[in-house]
Amino acid sequence: MKLKIAFIFAFLTLFTGILVSCDNDNGNNPVICPPPQPQPDEDEPEKPTDFKYIELTSAQRDANASTKKFAYDMLRKSVEQANLIDPDGNVFISPLGFSNILTMLANGADVETLAEITTALGTNLDNLNSFYSLLTDVLPKADNQVKFSTANSVWLDNAFNPSADYMNLLHDNFNADSFIVDLNTVETKNAINKWCSDKTNGMIPEFLKKPLNDGLMFLVNALYFNGKWTEPFDAEKTDKGTFISSNGQSSEVEMMHGEYGIKYSRIQSGEIITLFYGNKTYAFNIYLPNKGTSIEEALASSDDYMEDTLGDCGCILTLPKFELEYENNRLKEVGEQLGIYRLFNTSGSLSKIADDLYCEFMKQVAKIKVNEEGAEAAAVTGALVFNSTGEEIPYKPVVVNVNRPFIFSITETTNDIILFAGVVRNL
């Protein structure tokens, strides 16, 4: 079986906004305008879900291929950005959240800004809309043994009147809620944080540390994943082991141990290991560079592993338990380094939403926990809109000890859709 591995992620999520006819109650509470929801048939029992292959159209396959490359580029640029602050720090991102928010904004962009966004994402807007609309619908249903959810919302200042066509498009494609509020208050900050906490099962309880400043519209996407290993680790075998960080220092961490049938490949720059969740619709991918190969060197050799063939292999695996939380308040700088400049710097770049708009601020918070049972991960991505004037696999079991810096991702397996990606350099 071939799995195209692109180790990227982070976590945030699909998000959007919708404007429907609502009345403000003149109070401090937001007016909530939920999209229509299908009503379940109470007489029909829930049916078990087997492995589901997600069928993509040619346009959706094109979007998936291009956004996988974007995901790798985002991880590489995020690591470069993190190195300026802490060259030994960990990174965890959601390319899915970032690229989906960019697609939402692209629907409101002028011609030049749209060209920058679609060039960075690698395909046209119709393909992107079709792809993310599908993901919003099918990913949560792909595996009944894995909990995966996406939630999208737009928070509109009560003095702002965006294009109804734009908001309806977001609603139709991304099933988003709309909230009409006094956007720049403490009450709204608290309401947004509660929404983010609810949609991430409490993993991200405080997305905003302070009230928004003079914004007109705030787009938010929340992504949540909770998957149990198809073959869990035995907690009784977990013991203390040594992890060697990128700076050469050693630390004692909890190491999990197991013998599994996995997908495995050895390439020139390291090893690739894939573990599965639930019914194998979702996977946890590890790229373990060779000793002496840095994370930066490994990321630069992405062609070695992004299109590699994995084979079935027995494996004696040692993997650290770990938790990461990564907050990037300068996500727009990553966008600029990927060639998206007008969106963040030019008045009128979002002219299909309203006059004289641009995206002044974008951030993402992502968190993951990996233990003997599986992994839980979440990401929230927000954008504030302003007004301005391989080789053969060995037959015998391989022994893999993940005791040094590595790259990882969580993906959907049938089309290798990247949900999260990260880098562990110290524990």
pLDDT in tens, 325-350: 999 999 999 999 999 999 998 888 99
- Whether the per-residue pLDDT at 137 is higher than 60: the answer is yes
Query: Average pLDDT for residues 410-420, to the nearest whole number?
Result: 89
> Can you give the residue ranges of every domain in the chain?
53-228+323-387
- Whether the per-residue pLDDT at 24 is higher than 60: the answer is no
The pLDDT value recorded for residue 27 is 43
Compute the distance between CA of residue 173 and CA of residue 400 in angstroms, rounded to an integer: 43
Q: Residue 206: helix, strand or coil by DSSP?
A: coil
Question: How do residues 44-96 score in pLDDT, each as one tens digit?
Answer: 434 334 667 788 999 999 999 998 889 999 999 999 999 999 999 999 999 99
Q: Which residue has the higher pLDDT, 283 or 14?
A: 283
The pLDDT value recorded for residue 346 is 86
Closest by CA to 337, choosing from 128, 120, 122, 123, is: 120
Percent share of the chain, pLDDT over 70: 84
Question: How do residues 290-325 score in pLDDT, each as one tens digit?
Answer: 999 999 998 887 544 444 456 777 889 999 999 999
* Structural tokens at position 131: 């792809």
Q: What is the mean pLDDT of the chain?
A: 84
Q: Which residue has the higher pLDDT, 312 or 221?
A: 221
Does CATH place domain 53-228+323-387 in 3.40.50.10190?
no
Residue type, 290: N
- List 23's β-bridge partners, or say none: none
Q: Which of 96-100, 138-142, 208-212 is predicted least confidently?
A: 138-142
* Structural tokens at position 145: 């043994």
The pLDDT value recorded for residue 267 is 81
The pLDDT value recorded for residue 51 is 63
Compute the distance between CA of residue 408 and CA of residue 241 in angstroms, rounded to an integer: 20
- Contacts of residue 175, Cβ cutoff 8 Å, sequence gap at least 6: 35, 136, 137, 152
Compute the distance between CA of residue 157 and CA of residue 177 in angstroms, rounded to an integer: 14
- What pTM did the predictor assign? 0.85
The pLDDT value recorded for residue 342 is 94
- Whether the per-residue pLDDT at 187 is higher than 90: the answer is yes
Percent share of the chain, pLDDT over 90: 63
- Whether the per-residue pLDDT at 363 is higher than 60: the answer is yes
Query: Average pLDDT for residues 119-123, to the nearest whole number?
Result: 95
Contact 203, 376 (CB under 8 A): yes
